[in-house]
Amino acid sequence: MSSKLDQLRGMTDVVADTGDIDAIKRFSPQDATTNPSLILKAAQLPQYKALIDEVVAETKPSSADTASVKAAGLLLATRIGGEITQLVPGKVSTEVDARLSFDTDATLAEARKIIALYHEMGIDKSRILIKIASTWEGIQAAKILEAENIECNLTLLFSLTQAAACAEANATLISPFVGRILDWHKARGLEPSTAFDDPGVQSVSQIYSYYKQHGFNTVVMGASFRNIGEIEALAGCDRLTISPQLLEELATEQAELPRQLSPAQSFAPLPRLQHNEADFRWAMNEDAMATEKLAEGIRAFAADQQKLEAMLIDWQA
């Protein structure tokens, strides 16, 4: 019998949730996703030392020059992304600075800069997904970018409200977070008895159902897994982005992996949501989990971006 990872690949596009080139080479995913936390981790790997030397030499980041520091961070993220495009046949997600999550115009400017940096490396925008937090402002930026044929990955997504707004904005892809939803509920005493009782799994299943019922083309890519049980319960989802550790577990297990999600299955009817800004903000206000996890995620990514920038300032070639 083939491994669970090979079986999963037969029904779902498998994406590597890492900036580690060695891990990407080992598992041969279709796509790869990065974020500030993963870039910070990747930047500490020996194989990126020469690349960081180049970035620091080009941008000369200094604590006295904020623009040079931000330029260094963005250039490093795209250079690492460029390396990854040589290893995957599909797309690489590169994230807009989380500190811009509530500024549509600034998000647009940085997204276009990311595409320009990739273009300078000879990498077409069709290979790149611009990763943006699923705030109201971020979703509006994605709507404009998609109209410019710049494809977007809406991340830090924890609710059907966010997912519905992303679909109405014609976002190419969303990344609903499974494990972080579970974390929130476990902190309040919930211990699901099976993966199918996992509130993160249930959230992604509901979003998948909603998109298929209403004919949206936006891709559902489950993310932020805590264990392979969550992955197995979402087998058949459009895409799943998985950490190297969990990819390794799936690769070593030989048991049968049944398909759980399919566009052809029958779904419980869900009404179409077409929120304006006030409706969106009220729905998010009523969803404590989604609001808290979105804010927490933005803070965490912003903190790791700042750590990355501090590392670049102090870098010695």
d(CA 159, CA 154): 12
d(CA 140, CA 312): 31
Q: Is 131 a catalytic residue?
A: yes
Q: How far apart are the first and last CA of the chain?
A: 49
d(CA 78, CA 98): 16
- Which residue in the list 4, 91, 131, 293 is annotated as catalytic? 131
Q: Tell me the C-alpha to C-alpha distance, in Å, between residue 211 and each of 85, 96, 160, 175, 262.
A: 29, 25, 10, 13, 12
Contact, 204 vs 157, CB < 8 A?
no
d(CA 202, CA 197): 7
Task: Return the structure tokens found at 64.
Answer: 């006295």
User: Could you list the active site residues?
Assistant: 131
